[in-house]
Amino acid sequence: DQSGRRIAILGTIDGQQGILIAERAAFATETPEALQAFHAAITDVNNLGDNDIYRWYLASSHSAPGSQQPPDLKINLIWPCTESHIKKYSEQVVRMVTETPEIYRDSIRPYMSAKREEGRLNWVFNILEGRTEQEDVILRDKGHDGNEEGGFLVLPDLNWDRKTMGSLHLLALVMRRDIWSLRDLKKKHIPWLKYLRERLLEETVRVYPQLETDQLKLYVHYQPTYYHFHVHIVNVMLEAGATQATGKAFGLENIISQLETLDGDEEAGMADVSLTYFLGEASELWSNVFGPLKRGEKP
């Protein structure tokens, strides 16, 4: 399939057609010994890039060092990681929550502000200000009005291996810093969002001519991993895991349409609507906001 974990082979057995489907087994994690064996089997590690605390690599498993086998592992390293990173990647119960405009104003917006002040956006600003990953930037646009603040740039997402078109995953980072999440989008931003969408589609198929615009999906996360507005560009064939699921990914076209149909003047926007999404019980937003609300307590 598009992510390289499953293959379907058409052939014949005794003169009759058959389909053989092979899928990679899950990682063995039952014992410390199994994890140690996995670590020991990793060879031919090739660094793809790094930025601040994030590093990503291609590597091989179950092969002798220096062999010609193509890499079969994509490895991301977060170091040094924070408690928030540990909670994000820990196994946990997931809950659906509804964030009203009031909850956003009173609890979520202050939380976003606090996170931005912790310096967790350093890696984003490193890219936007030209200090890191400039060799990976595939588009730098000044915006529909030529105003640098309305510009954006596009580069490969760290979860993509940068070669498999079926799992293409790009990231568009906007230059402006007044939009932290989709909650900051207003009716006055519609022309900018439409321009952003058009340019992302045009430039992606220009850089990757084997794709067409109707093979691409644009979406925004809420809650996002970091509070600087960004858009994901993926191949529609990419399997919709948790990061593309309902309650996490909001289609850019749907956001534009919702803004167009909102009542009110140009200042009306996504901060005025209720949003339903999922959270892990280990997350700070569940522990500090939605968990207390469920128990009838004040956050």
Calpha distance 59→54 (Å, rounded): 17
Task: Say what the alpha-carbon torsion angle 235, 241, 242, 247 is, to the nearest 10 degrees.
Answer: 60
Q: Which tokens is 21 given?
A: 């489907």
Cα(176)–Cα(171) distance, integer angstroms:
15
Give the integer Cα–Cα distance in Å for 258 and 36: 50
CB 165 within 8 A of CB 211: yes
Task: Render the burial of 72-104: b for 16+ CB within 10 Å, e for the rest.
Answer: ebbeeebeeeeeeeebeeeeeeebebebeeebb
* Cβ(155)–Cβ(204) below 8 Å: no
The active-site residue, picked from 169, 228, 230, 232, is 230
Annotated active-site residue 232? The verdict is: no
Q: Kindly list the catalytic residues.
A: 230
